[in-house]
A = this chain, B = another copy of it.
Amino acid sequence: MGVSVVILALDGTNRADARPTLRIPLVRRIRQPFLGDWALPGSRLRQGISLEAAASDALLSTTGLDARYLEQLYTFGDPGRSSSGLPMVSIAYWALIDADEAQGVHEARNVQWFPLNALPSIAFDHRRIIDYALDRIRTKIGYTDIAARLVGETFTLSQLRRVYEAILDRTLDPPNFRRSILASGMIKPTGEVLARGRHRPAALYRYAAPGAPLSSPSKRHDGRRHDERHA
């Protein structure tokens, strides 16, 4: 009866010139089953602690950081094993953190970081959970402002684009990215610019309403009126 957390760490959001990368911390199993394999960080449930708080605990003790985003994924039950007459239940969360926050990266005991394209032998069915988490964030970044948690107060469009590119693991067309993100209404220009090299300075933006609105329902409705005159 506990929680497991897929911790997706975006590394390199401070260095504004290159694409950040996604990495993930895993814990080496020190007992059977799956001894020696790598498992998701987790924590036991305790009285008075919410599920989400338990996930945050696991995150904090593994990385020393707080989540920029935390969301429940799925619950796994194993009817066989038990320690209390009940099935063994594990609730999986996924979290997004900004790895640049950590300086001395808090290399906890038995914890090691892996890039997503070079994962080791994974214990239990945790590999499926990781893939599920990746699906989720990649879908969700398309229609939410998760990325807001990973950029600074203000940012250029290429900084933001590189965050998207890291999460989606592919390059995005800068002109098209600009248009689609601006059309979503999620961000608005600050009016200031940022000079960062021997080229034209980039306009700075900020998220319109941090954590919420994407586009108002009325706006969305307007966007769908392409008939009415046919009547």
A residues near B, CB below 8 A?
1, 45-53, 72, 74-80, 82, 84-87, 89, 91
The reply to whether B79 and A48 form a contact with Cβ atoms under 8 Å apart is: yes
Bound CA–CA A165/B229 (angstroms): 25
The reply to whether A74 and B72 form a contact with Cβ atoms under 8 Å apart is: yes
Chain B's nearest CB lies how many Å from the CB of A8? Answer: 20
A51-B87 contact in complex given A72-B74, A74-B72, A75-B75, C-beta closer than 8 Å:
yes
Q: What's the number of copies of this chain in the assembled complex?
A: 2
Chain B's nearest CB lies how many Å from the CB of A51? Answer: 4
Interface SS, A side: loop
Residue of chain B at shortest CB distance from A78: B50
Query: Which residues from B are CB-within-8-Å of A51?
Result: 75-77, 87, 89
Query: Which residues from B are CB-within-8-Å of A84?
Result: 84
Query: Which residues from B are CB-within-8-Å of A78?
Result: 50
Query: Which residues from B are CB-within-8-Å of A77?
Result: 45, 50-52, 91
Bound CA–CA A86/B48 (angstroms): 8
The reply to whether A91 and B75 form a contact with Cβ atoms under 8 Å apart is: yes
Chain B's nearest CB lies how many Å from the CB of A33? Answer: 18
Query: Which residues from B are CB-within-8-Å of A74?
Result: 72
Chain B's nearest CB lies how many Å from the CB of A202? Answer: 28
**Which of B1, B49, B50, B87 is within 8 Å of A49, CB to CB?**
B87
Query: Which residues from B are CB-within-8-Å of A1?
Result: 1, 86, 89
Query: Which residues from B are CB-within-8-Å of A72?
Result: 74-75
Bound CA–CA A153/B85 (angstroms): 42
Closest 4 CB pairs of A and B: A51-B77, A75-B75, A50-B79, A75-B91
Bound CA–CA A46/B85 (angstroms): 7
Residue of chain B at shortest CB distance from A75: B75
Residue of chain B at shortest CB distance from A44: B86
Known: A48-B80, A51-B76, A51-B87. 10 other contacts (CB 8 A): A45-B89, A46-B86, A46-B87, A47-B87, A49-B79, A49-B87, A50-B87, A72-B74, A89-B89, A89-B91
